[in-house]
Amino acid sequence: MKRLIYRTGKITEKEQLKLDFEDGFSRTVEERLELGFIPMKLPVISERPYRIFETMEEYRRWAEKNLPRWLGYHR
């Protein structure tokens, strides 16, 4: 973010989109990567470094039983 732009009143959606793109393009790749990831501890998944399942069906049963629905691993 190299420069600040001040506007008074309401701007159109197209103008807002243009400002958002200009803001994004003014950042370096490193800054974009830093802002793009949100570190998050996932319940159950983060407890162990890995798990081994014999079949995909076994994995799916485990996921449906142990993982919260909001993680999106349910069928």
53 neighbors 62 (Cβ within 8 angstroms): yes
Torsion sign, CA atoms 23, 40, 71, 52: positive
Structure confidence at residue 1 as a pLDDT band (50, 70, 90): low
3-state secondary structure of 58: helix
For residues 75 and 35, give the distance between their C-alpha atoms in angstroms, rounded to a whole number: 31
Q: Do 6 and 29 lie in a common domain?
A: yes
- What integer pLDDT is reported at residue 39 of this predicted model? 82
Taking only the tens place, the pLDDT of each residue in 12-58 is 999 999 988 988 889 999 998 888 888 878 778 778 888 899 999 99
Distances (CA, A) of 72 to 3, 8, 42, 67: 39, 41, 12, 9
Q: How many domains does the chain have?
A: 2
Q: Do 50 and 61 lie in a common domain?
A: yes
Taking only the tens place, the pLDDT of each residue in 61-72 is 998 998 888 888
- What integer pLDDT is reported at residue 13 of this predicted model? 92
Q: Do 25 and 45 lie in a common domain?
A: no
Q: Do 51 and 27 lie in a common domain?
A: no
